[in-house]
Amino acid sequence: MPATRRNFFSWTRNALAASGLLGTAPATAQAAAASGADYYGKLGVTKIINAAGTYTALTASIMPPQVQAAVAEAARHPVRLAELQQKAGEHIARRLKCEAALVSAGAASALTLGTAACMTVGNKQAVSLLPLETSSLKNEVIIQKGHRYGYDHAIKNCGIRFVEVDTLDQYEKAFSGRTVMCHFFNAAEQGQISREKWIEVAHRHGVPCFNDAAADVPPISNLWNYTQMGFDLVTFSGGKGLRGPQNAGLLLGRKDLIEAATWSNSPHDETVGRGMKVAKEQIIGMVAAIDWYLEQTDEGMQAEFRRRAERVAAALKGIPGVQHEIFVPPLANAVPHLLIRYDHTRIPPLEVAERMRKGTPSVELNPATGHKSGSAGLPNAEDAIIVGVWMLQPGEDAIVGQRLREVLKAAV
């Protein structure tokens, strides 16, 4: 074992002992041994400390133990997929106070299935016309110009075309006989038409409204706020703040639309959704994640994330020029993040990120580090470091603080 690794392990042991976490280690090790081989180790895949956040490229989130256990249990038995999909949907709809729900293969998949639903509702045989033969169907989706984003490709996958608007007046005039849906990006930083107005105008024209709130829990109540506000369809990512399986998501909303979405979903062939399979393990994982999430409180989560940010900051005490603040983005990823300012002329933030990545253990800082703009709601961090603390595992905040201290001290 190289010295740095050994140091890390003894250091980790001390840190865990200090935080009282070591007492649970034997049980955890036993559980790990019972649950199978370490294939990351076998394959030589680097395990990382996620001080970034719920980024898909970093495998986003870790399922809480009770969700992992539910997934493992589900893996032991075959079931009838249609029955599982239906009963899982009913449970989720009940818990999230909406008419109906479907577990999708992520929020992007829900965007495709929800759009397909709007295009085919009441016209089941039309599902096979998507995406290329849509000329006989309504196929225009209205969207605010400032709400265009990378994920709207998932809507385009249905063969629609976007009609872009800026002002309320343009919105009113954008409806045609071909308008099939009005799309809203919940965390958009631009766009002048409010959610309420967006819904009101669409409904006056008899057109359903979709809200993409994929990254917008916490607060927990957002899980029902937007359907209750009147959006006909709402999606959340299952593998972000909800900490369900990475390849799961939620499509919530109107019963007739959710039913139409299932027509385009796996296992049905000749549909846009056949490749968006959600296995029984992920469906159960999604349900279990919701049950877990509804046991949490907003106050409890915010306080925990704040404590972690403060622990990381405390490790940097005494390094000349280091200042920190804790900030909470307004809508997406609305949890405490740590922003660190320091003498970046000695070592630029991107270099800090690279050294953290190359160190042992390998730490990923928030990708907004060293960049003008990150994900929605993150501040300009061109000269700063951002630590996303909410996906850290117990004890990792201390490790991130220690590693950051080493990297920054080496540069002063």
Ligand X SMILES: *Cc1c(COP(=O)(O)O)cnc(C)c1O
Which residues of this protein are in contact with ligand X, per CB under 6 A? 56, 106-108, 151, 212, 214-215, 237, 239, 249
Give CA–CA dist 209/33, Å, rounded.
48
Nearer to ligand X, 108 or 352 (CB): 108
> In the bound complex, what is the minimum distance in angstroms from residue 208's beta carbon to ligand X?
18
CA distance 282 to 332: 23
Instruction: Considering the complex, state which of residue 56 and residue 302 has its C-beta at the smaller distance from ligand X.
Output: 56
Q: Which is nearer to ligand X, 289 or 408 (CB)?
A: 289
- With respect to ligand X, which residue has the nearer C-beta, 108 or 261? 108
User: What would the two tokens of residue 354 be?
Assistant: 């690279």
Q: Smallest distance, Å, CB 186 to ligand X? A: 7
Please, what is the minimum distance in Å from the beta carbon of residue 404 to ligand X?
27
Place of tokens 């075959």: 78
CB of 265 to ligand X, least distance (A): 14
Closest approach of ligand X to the CB of residue 66, in Å: 21
- Cβ proximity to ligand X: between 335 and 407 the closer is 335
Where are the alpha helices (H) located in 245-348, listed in sequence order?
255-263, 280-293, 298-314
Return the residue nearest ligand X (CB atom). Answer: 106
CB of 249 to ligand X, least distance (A): 4
Tokens for 120? 């085919």
Element (H, E) at 384: strand 384-388
Return the exposure string of 283-301: e unless at least 16 CB atoms fall within 10 Å of the residue's CB, then b.
bbbbbbbbebbeeeeeeeb
* Distance (Å, whole) CA 12 – CA 222: 37
Nearer to ligand X, 233 or 404 (CB): 233
Give the number of other CB atoms < 10 A from CB of residue 72: 15
Tokens of 410: 């080496």
